[in-house]
Amino acid sequence: MALLGTLVNGLAIVIGSLLGLFWRNIPEKTKVTIMQAMGLAVIILGIGMGLKSKQFLIVIASLAIGGVLGERLDLEGKLGQLGDWLEKKLGGKEKGGIANAFVTATLVFVIGAMSIVGALDSGLRHDHAVLYTKALIDGFCAIFFTSALGVGVIFSAVPVILYQGIIALFATQIDRIVPADLMKQMIVEITGTGGIMILAIGLNILGLTKIRVANLLPALLFTITIVSIVYYWDKLSGFAGNLI
């Protein structure tokens, strides 16, 4: 079953969020310390991912072009509106609390190499080991995020399931379309691009910046596009060179 790993991941987030609700009464100082620790951990994760890029110019170009498109589409605003709608439906007491928790958790859980690689493994080989590992990590993160940010974290399970599920289903046919070496290059550069976004999320969690990370999400699509162009350009150049 191609979606098994994705469903387990979503369930882990829900369970972690529910467990985190029991920690809501912990002292405010403890919550601050937890969020600072989470922010630092996310920053280190982002730096590690960003350094994996082999062609950093592709990362820069993707972020620049993706940022322009994301701002025009106002993806951050739309995610925030969805969070605000959830907040109204649930009668949230703190303005922006559920929305902030939903947006922050969604970005952390969705952006990253494990989401893509794990979903691809699930679809291509029905190997869910990566997503099971991610589920364990996300579950623990959900506990701490919920304890500090609130119940909005639980709703991040929905975009995680949709995002990874679509990739997993697409992956069942992707080996017929995308060459294996091109896929490896895509994953490396997507990891690098995603790492920059993860770093930005960590800085936001620490309150050092207010980067509209969701507006950078189109950069992932542009990374795929640019890597594909470079790959096939090299192939054509090599072919033309052999003819000459």
Query: Residue 230 above 90 pLDDT?
Result: yes
Instruction: Compare 107 and 23 and report the one with higher pLDDT.
Output: 107
Query: Residue 12 above 60 pLDDT?
Result: yes
What does the chain come to in residues? 244
Q: How far apart are CA 95 and CA 114, in angstroms?
A: 32
Query: Using one digit for the tens of pLDDT, what is the confidence trace for 78-124?
Result: 877 877 777 677 665 554 577 788 888 888 888 766 787 788 878 87
Query: Using one digit for the tens of pLDDT, what is the confidence trace for 161-201?
Result: 999 999 899 888 876 788 889 988 988 898 888 889 888 88
What's the pLDDT score for residue 150? 83
Residue 51: band (very low, low, confident or very high) from pLDDT cuts 50, 70, 90: very high
pTM of the model: 0.77
Residue 17: band (very low, low, confident or very high) from pLDDT cuts 50, 70, 90: very high
CA dihedral in degrees (87, 140, 48, 165; nearest 10)?
-70
CA 227 to each of CA 46, 157, 186, 198, 243: distance values in angstroms, whole numbers, following the listed order: 21, 30, 6, 21, 25
What's the pLDDT score for residue 217? 86
Number of CB atoms found within 10 A of residue 225's CB = 14
The token pair at 238 is: 């090599």
What's the pLDDT score for residue 113? 65
Give one word for 92, left, alpha or beta, with left for phi > 0 and alpha for psi -120 to 50: beta
Number of CB atoms found within 10 A of residue 125's CB = 12
Most confident of the ranges 34-43, 169-178, 186-195, 227-236: 227-236
What's the pLDDT score for residue 72? 94
State the chain's mean pLDDT as an integer: 85
Q: Across residues 135-139, what is the average pLDDT?
A: 88
Q: Across residues 198-208, what is the average pLDDT?
A: 86
Which is nearest to 118 in space by CA: 59, 189, 191?
A: 191
Residue 241: band (very low, low, confident or very high) from pLDDT cuts 50, 70, 90: low
Stretch among 112-121, 153-162, 221-230 having the lowest mean pLDDT: 112-121
